[in-house]
Amino acid sequence: MKRIIFIISLLVAVYLNAKSQDSSSVATKDEVAEVKGAVDGINETVLEMKSTLDALKKIKISGYIQAQYQAAESASVGSYAGGNFPQNVKSRFQVRRGRFKINYDNDLTQYVLQLDVTQSGVGIKDAYASIKEPWLKMASLTAGVFDRPFGFEISYSSSSREAPERSRLFQTLFPGERELGAKIELAPENGPLSYFNLKAGVFNGVLNNSNENDRHKDFIGRAGFQLPFEEEGLAIDGGFSVYTGAVTANSKKIYEIDNSSSIKKYKVDSTITNLGDGFDRNYYGFDLQLYYDVPVIGGATLRGEYLWGTQSGTDKSSSFYNPDAAGSSDVKSIIDGKKVTDLYMRNFNGWYINYVQNIGLKNQFIAKYDVYAPNKDVTANDIGAVGSNLNAGDIKYSTLGLGWIYHWDSNVKFVLYYDWVKNEKVNTLATGTLAPFKNDLKDNVLTLRMQYKF
Partner 1 sequence: MKKIFLTLITAIATFGFSQKGETITVKGSDTMVIIAQRWAELYMSKHPDVTVQVTGGGSGVGISAIINGTTDICNASRPMKKSEKEKLKQRFNTLGVEIKAAKDGLAIYTNDNLPITELSLAQLKDIYTGKTTNWKQVGGPDTKIIVYGRENSSGTYVYFKDNVLDGEDFASSVQTLPGTAAVVNAVSKDKNGIGYGGAAYAKGIKLLKVKKDVNSTAYAPTEENVKSGDYPISRYLYMYTRSRPTGVMKEYIDWILSKEGQEIVTKVGYFPVR
Is position 410 an interface residue for partner 1 (rule: CB under 8 A)? yes
User: Binding partner 1 by CB under 8 A: which of 1, 2, 3, 57?
Assistant: 57
Q: How far is the CB of 56 from partner 1 (least distance, A)?
A: 13
The answer to whether residues 396 and 371 touch, using CB atoms and an 8 Å cutoff, is: yes
What residues numbered 346-405 form the site for partner 1, per CB under 8 A? 356-363, 404
Of 342, 365, 374, the closest CA to residue 168 belongs to 374
State the number of CA atoms in the 13 A half-sphere of 210 facing the CB: 15
Q: How far is the CB of 54 from partner 1 (least distance, A)?
A: 7
User: Binding partner 1 by CB under 8 A: which of 83, 278, 299, 436?
Assistant: 299
Name the strand (E) or helix (H) holding 280.
Answer: strand 278-294
Q: How far is the CB of 193 from partner 1 (least distance, A)?
A: 12
Query: Residue 91: which residues within 8 A CB-CB, separation 6 or more?
Result: 69, 70, 71, 72
d(CA 70, CA 50): 49
Q: How many other CB atoms are there within 10 angstroms of residue 388's CB atom?
A: 22
User: Binding partner 1 by CB under 8 A: which of 101, 265, 407, 425?
Assistant: 407
Q: By three-state DSSP, how is residue 298 classified?
A: strand
In the chain, how long is the greatest CA-to-CA distance?
149
Stretch that binds partner 1, among 46-54, 141-149, 322-330, 423-431 (CB under 8 A): 46-54
Pick the closer one to partner 1 by CB: 29 or 362: 362
User: Binding partner 1 by CB under 8 A: which of 3, 230, 272, 387?
Assistant: 230
Question: For residue 398, what are the CA distances in angstroms to 17, 404, 443?
Answer: 102, 20, 12
Question: For residue 53, what are the CA distances in angstroms to 49, 56, 59?
Answer: 6, 5, 10
Q: How far is the CB of 150 from partner 1 (least distance, A)?
A: 18
Is position 298 an interface residue for partner 1 (rule: CB under 8 A)? yes
Pick the closer one to partner 1 by CB: 246 or 415: 415
Is position 47 an interface residue for partner 1 (rule: CB under 8 A)? yes
User: Binding partner 1 by CB under 8 A: which of 6, 69, 93, 406?
Assistant: 406
Of 316, 320, 305, the closest CA to residue 173 belongs to 320
Contacts 24+ apart (CB under 8 A), 291-298: 291/234, 291/235, 291/236, 291/237, 292/233, 292/234, 293/233, 293/234, 294/357, 297/357, 297/358, 297/359, 297/360, 298/357, 298/358, 298/359, 298/360, 298/361
Binding characters for partner 1, 181-210, by CB under 8 A (x = yes)? --------x----x----------------
Is position 73 an interface residue for partner 1 (rule: CB under 8 A)? yes
Pick the closer one to partner 1 by CB: 175 or 299: 299
Pick the closer one to partner 1 by CB: 121 or 295: 295
Pick the closer one to partner 1 by CB: 157 or 431: 157
Is position 61 an interface residue for partner 1 (rule: CB under 8 A)? no
* Coarse DSSP helix, strand, coil percentages of the chain, rounded to the nearest 5 percent: 20, 45, 35
Q: How far is the CB of 406 from partner 1 (least distance, A)?
A: 5
Q: By three-state DSSP, how is residue 7 classified?
A: helix
How many residues touch partner 1 under the rule CB under 8 A: the total is 47
Q: How far is the CB of 142 from partner 1 (least distance, A)?
A: 16
Is position 300 an interface residue for partner 1 (rule: CB under 8 A)? yes
Binding characters for partner 1, 115-154, by CB under 8 A (x = yes)? ----------------------x-----------------
Q: How far is the CB of 237 from partner 1 (least distance, A)?
A: 8
Nearest 5°: CA angle at 232, between 230 and 236? 70
Question: For residue 132, what are the CA distances in angstroms to 135, 295, 379, 386?
Answer: 9, 39, 49, 59
Residues that bind partner 1 (CB under 8 A): 46-47, 50-51, 54, 57, 71, 73, 107, 137, 156-157, 160, 189, 194, 228, 230, 233-235, 291-293, 295-296, 298-301, 356-363, 404, 406-407, 410, 414, 416, 418, 444, 446, 448
